[in-house]
Structure 1
Amino acid sequence: MKDRKKAILKAAARVIARRGVRGLRVEELATEARVSKALVYYHFGDRSGLLRHTLRFIGDRAERYTCRRPPGPREPESPLRELERRLLLELQDTREVRENSTAWGELRASSVFEPELRDELARADLEWVREIADVLGQVDPTAPDKALVAAAERLIVLLEGLSTRWLIGVLPTDHACELMRGAITAEVEGLRLPEPYTVCPVG
């Protein structure tokens, strides 16, 4: 990715995290990225193009830090440990993760009013569910694909909710991670049940 284009996307993530999608102004973004407004339009065409590319940039950045492994010699990682690492790294108390998660939440919420973002969000969500389902499949190779996908969806939905509460300070980092670990344990144990459990509708 060209340096200036990357600078614009990094600045867009910062501005969206700070002001929300509705508060994104090309003039402020250009100043934040230290480029001209014309260059922003040159790379992204219009505001919708900028938002779609920013969403993709945020997703790619999250994938990089959740797939990152500690440097140096290490024992082979078990599938369960990999699953925990990938999900818990979304709750790292760092500026990059907080900014990324906040901007992602703002873009997701704004898609209610900006339908052009929905396809990009659906694509990113599908990829994330598939990645987590694949790791769950390594934890329990006997589990059917449908059960793996459902478990992955539940874990991701819970993580997004925990992340929101963590970002606003309702949940301390340690407690959010503890709740996530408990959910992972429950989902893995659920995969090993003889028959998938179902929730009966009330009433």
Structure 2
Amino acid sequence: MSERQIQILEAAVRVIAQDGVRGLRIEKLAAEAGVSTALIYYHFKDRPGVVRAALEHINHRAQSYTGAAMADEAARARLEGLLLLELQDTGQVRETSIAWGELRASAIFDTDLREPLRTTTDAWNTDIESLIRRAQDEGAVDTAIDTAAAAERLTALVEGLSERWHTHSITLDRARELLTDAIHLELDREVRGTRPPA
């Protein structure tokens, strides 16, 4: 991807985080990115093309602040750290998280967003599931835990807590506390014998 395309997509994320997906107009995006509307159409064809590319870019942004984090840590510590990194009060994380929530909400009405959103969500679930399996291999998580279900519950919880934090329904500290507790309940329940009935 060219620097100019990245510049446009960074501006698209900002506009979506500020005004929502419905507020993303090509003219506004051009002004935010400091480029012509023709250049946006050249690179992304149309507004839906910009929105789909922005979704992919948001995914890459999230990987940039979580991917290298704690690379040398044990799998269990890395898993907890990666999930908690989604709830931090930095401009990039807040912007990425708000834009992600906007795109997810828009997919309710925009059927073209559903498949790329599903693909991105599945990739995140798979990454978390892989870490849970590695933690199982290291003896830090009980092997009886359904790794796919645990990963899906934890990623869904991160998204829900993030939305509550961004809407000021809960504080960031409370969101992180709840996520930390949920990680322990999810991954330690076999050890404590508190596994809910199937």
Q: Which residue of 2 aligns with 1:90?
A: 86
CA contact (8 A) 2:25 2:47 kept: no
Q: How many angstroms apart in 2 are the aligned matches of 1:174 and 1:123?
A: 30
Specify the code of the residue in structure 2 equivalent to 1:175: R
Q: How many angstroms apart in 1 are the aligned matches of 2:116 and 2:32?
A: 25
CA contact (8 A) 1:13 1:103 kept: yes
Q: How many angstroms apart in 1 are the aligned matches of 2:49 and 2:163?
A: 26
TM-score for both structures, normalised by structure 2: 0.91
Change over 3 Å in CA distance of 1:3–1:173 after alignment to 2: same
TM-score for both structures, normalised by structure 1: 0.89
Superposed counterparts of 1:123-134, under 5 Å: 123-134=119-130
Q: Which residue of 2 aligns with 1:60?
A: 60
Tell me how large the CA RMSD over aligned residues is: 2.0
Q: Deviations over 1:34-71 (max 9, x none)?
A: 0000000100111111111000000110011012337x
Give percent identity, aligned residues only: 45
Q: How many angstroms apart in 1 are the aligned matches of 2:183 and 2:120?
A: 21
Q: CA deviation at 1:192?
A: 4.7
Q: How many angstroms apart in 1 are the aligned matches of 2:91 and 2:58?
A: 14
Q: CA deviation at 1:196?
A: 5.8
Q: Which residue of 1 aligns with 2:102?
A: 106
Q: Which residue of 2 aligns with 1:4?
A: 4
Residues matched between the structures, number: 194
Specify the code of the residue in structure 2 equivalent to 1:167: H
Q: CA deviation at 1:169?
A: 1.9
Question: What 5-or-longer segments of structure 2 have no aligned partner?
Answer: none
1:22 alignment partner, SS class: helix
Superposed counterparts of 1:1-203, under 5 Å: 1-69=1-69, 76-141=72-137, 143=143, 147-190=146-189, 192=191, 197-198=196-197
Which stretches of structure 1, 4 residues or longer, exceed 4 Å deviation after superposition?
Answer: 191-196
Q: CA deviation at 1:80?
A: 1.3
